[in-house]
């Protein structure tokens, strides 16, 4: 067993985590989006969706990331929301 590989394994994982965090910071910066703005968007999404379904607000995860366009393969910011649904509300309004 190579001891250097054993101790280097954790730094490789840390390196990848740091790399992903830096990518997210760059996406936020390029999209000119502050954390306060994301909190406002999150609040608005909760208000709208709560009219139709009961959601787990603690499990709600909204983040800004990047994706490629289909038409020209350029990279653009994307808002990704993971919203756990507890149950659907009655649709008769």
Q: What is the pLDDT of residue 1?
A: 47
Mean pLDDT per block of 10 residues along the chain (93 residues) reads 50 71 66 76 87 90 82 83 90 57
In a domain, 23, yes or no: yes
Length of the chain: 93
Kindly state whether residue 93 falls inside one of the protein's structural domains. Answer: no
| Helix (H/G/I), strand (E/B), else coil: 62 | strand
Q: Kindly report the pTM of this predicted structure.
A: 0.54
Q: For the chain, what is the domain count?
A: 1
Domain assignment of residue 20, yes or no: yes
pLDDT for 93 equals: 52
- Which two three-digit tokens encode residue 30? 């390029």
Residue numbers of the domain that contains 27: 3-88
Q: Extract the tokens encoding 89.
A: 């509300």
């Amino acid at each position: 067993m190579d001891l250097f590989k054993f101790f280097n394994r954790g730094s490789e994982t840390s390196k990848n985590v740091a790399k992903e965090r830096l990518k997210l910071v760059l996406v936020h910066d390029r999209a000119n989006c502050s954390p306060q703005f994301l909190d406002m968007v999150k609040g608005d999404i909760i208000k709208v969706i709560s009219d139709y379904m009961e959601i787990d607000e603690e499990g709600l995860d909204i983040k800004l990331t990047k994706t490629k366009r289909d038409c020209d393969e350029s990279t653009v910011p994307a808002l990704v929301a993971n919203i756990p649904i507890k149950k659907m509300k009655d649709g008769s309004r």
